[in-house]
Chains A and B, each alone.
Chain A
């Protein structure tokens, strides 16, 4: 039930609402729980609400660490 998906904010509308996209699919998204949302930012969408923003820098750092582990494993396997 706590599933949430990363979506990108496409449009800000009145009343703290907005449009957000996952690939080609767009959702109406309640942005009330996010401080100062901006178009282009990624947020986690849960039950129609953006519950937190996704920090792209941190996301890439984590991915880089996974790539390092993969590279280390490959080097060991050679």
Chain B
């Protein structure tokens, strides 16, 4: 595939991995965090850690949107799914996330109308075709996804669909990065900044973090050559004793991002304090629907949500905060695997536990 395969070339990957290793100073440590689940998955899939010297530590952060969505949200989605006239439309990786009593897959098996969609526009089409049903789209995702959901909502609005709803759990990445910078335990030297979140918000969105915390940043594409180059840029910044925002993924990411997508997001949503699994409630780190779109807000639909009880043995939260690795969890590979996930991090293919389970021995 054009503009994909070229960035996976084995000989170039090996040459670049050597160049990165040569640049690493054996006399010090390097700690870099990736805050995007697709990076987590591809770092594991391509064995990037094994290509680097031991003193370069790559830490996974809260980059999987499904994983950072609190269990209470899943419980509400299940409660909505159980209403007779409600159809839930969702991206596939929400389906098996365990709720307190049931997942959406369980609810569907019990007869609830839960449909996996590829695009939020599919949910709008369902609402248009079945006006007697209330179609609730589960708005889960970071800045990459929020504009697509926002635009789907305005499409529903243009068509006058009073039966389309969004249950927004959208989250913003920079506020979470700021919290991680403040963690003394992590002592991060740099961030492998997300590829497609940055396509929307722009590489300039991290300037504040660099200024405030002195943490190195490199906006990085998802292919193995991109990831290694991003790490190389971070190593260089650390060696120079400087911090700035480098942009490795310049073929897609501009300093100012995508203004049209930002405008859609600002038109439909406003920042709100939001709970992150693992990080707690962070100020202005999520997106809720603006007041004039209240009619589309699925949070106003009355339903009986089960009282949320979390399995205290699961350390998903600490894994998401970079404070623990999947191997530290007593459930990992014992009670918790992709077939029978206990925590959200084992469900989504880009969850840290799922990526480790599949690729790291």
Contact B261 A51 (CB under 8 A): yes
Closest to A22 in B: B1
The residues of B that contact A65 with a CB separation of less than 8 Å are: 229
Structural contact, A2 and B118, CB atoms closer than 8 A: no
Query: Which residue of A23, A33, A69 contacts B151 across the interface (Cβ within 8 Å)?
Result: A33
For A49, give its contact among B12, B14, B151, B225 (CB under 8 Å): B151
For A8, list chain B residues within 8 Å (CB): 2
Is B9 part of the contact surface with A, judged by Cβ < 8 Å? yes
B252 touches A48 (CB 8 A): no
The answer, yes or no, to whether B37 is at the interface (CB within 8 Å) is yes
Give the residues in chain B near A47, CB-CB below 8 Å.
91, 118-120, 141, 145, 148
Would you call A59 and B16 a contact (CB within 8 A)?
no
Contacts of B350 in A (CB 8 A): 1
A33 x B261 contact (CB < 8 A): yes
B37 near A2 with CB under 8 A, answer yes
- Tell me which of A3, A33, A52, A63 contacts B252 (CB under 8 A): A52
Q: Which residue of A lies closest to B147 (CB)?
A: A33
Of B37, B118, B258, most A-chain CB atoms within 10 Å: B258
Q: With A48-B119, A48-B122, A52-B199 known to touch, is A2 a contact of B260 (CB < 8 Å)?
A: no
Q: Which chain A positions have C-beta within 8 A of B209?
A: none
| Chain A stretch 1-39: residues in CB contact (< 8 A) with chain B | 1-6, 8, 22-23, 30, 32-35
Q: Which residue of A49, A54, A70, A73 is within 8 Å of B251 (Cβ)? A: A54
Other-chain contact of B12, A3, A5, A54, A69 (Cβ < 8 Å): A69
Contact B119 A1 (CB under 8 A): no
Cβ < 8 Å to A, chain B residues 68-85 = none
Contacts of B258 in A (CB 8 A): 33-34, 51-52
Residue of A nearest to B151 (CB): A32
Q: With a CB–CB cut-off of 8 A, which chain B residues contact A5?
A: 1, 4
Selected contact of A70 from candidates B15, B151, B260, B261, CB within 8 Å = B15
Residue of chain B at shortest CB distance from A17: B121
A78 contacts chain B at the CB level, 8 A cutoff: no
Q: In B1-28, which residues have CB < 8 Å from any A CB?
A: 1-4, 6-7, 9, 11-12, 14-16, 18-19
Give the docked Cα–Cα distance between A8 and B9 (Å).
Answer: 22
Give Cα A53 to B148, complex, Å: 15
By the criterion CB–CB under 8 Å, are B121 and A48 in contact?
A: yes
Least CB distance from A40 to B in Å reads: 12
With both beta carbons as reference points, the residue of chain A lying nearest to B141 in the complex is identified as: A1
B156 at the interface (CB under 8 A from A): no
User: What is B's interface to A at a CB cutoff of 8 Å?
Assistant: 1-4, 6-7, 9, 11-12, 14-16, 18-19, 36-38, 64-66, 91, 93, 118-122, 140-142, 144-145, 147-148, 151, 194-197, 199-200, 222, 225, 229, 248, 250-253, 258-261, 264, 348, 350
- Could you show 30 A-B contacts with beta carbons less than 8 Å apart? A1-B65, A1-B66, A1-B93, A2-B65, A2-B142, A2-B144, A2-B194, A2-B197, A3-B222, A5-B1, A5-B4, A6-B1, A23-B1, A30-B121, A30-B151, A32-B260, A33-B264, A34-B260, A46-B145, A46-B148, A47-B145, A47-B148, A51-B258, A51-B261, A52-B261, A62-B250, A63-B6, A63-B7, A70-B15, A73-B19
Top 8 A-B residue pairs of the complex, sorted by shortest distance between their CB atoms: A48-B119, A73-B15, A59-B251, A52-B199, A58-B251, A6-B3, A70-B15, A49-B148
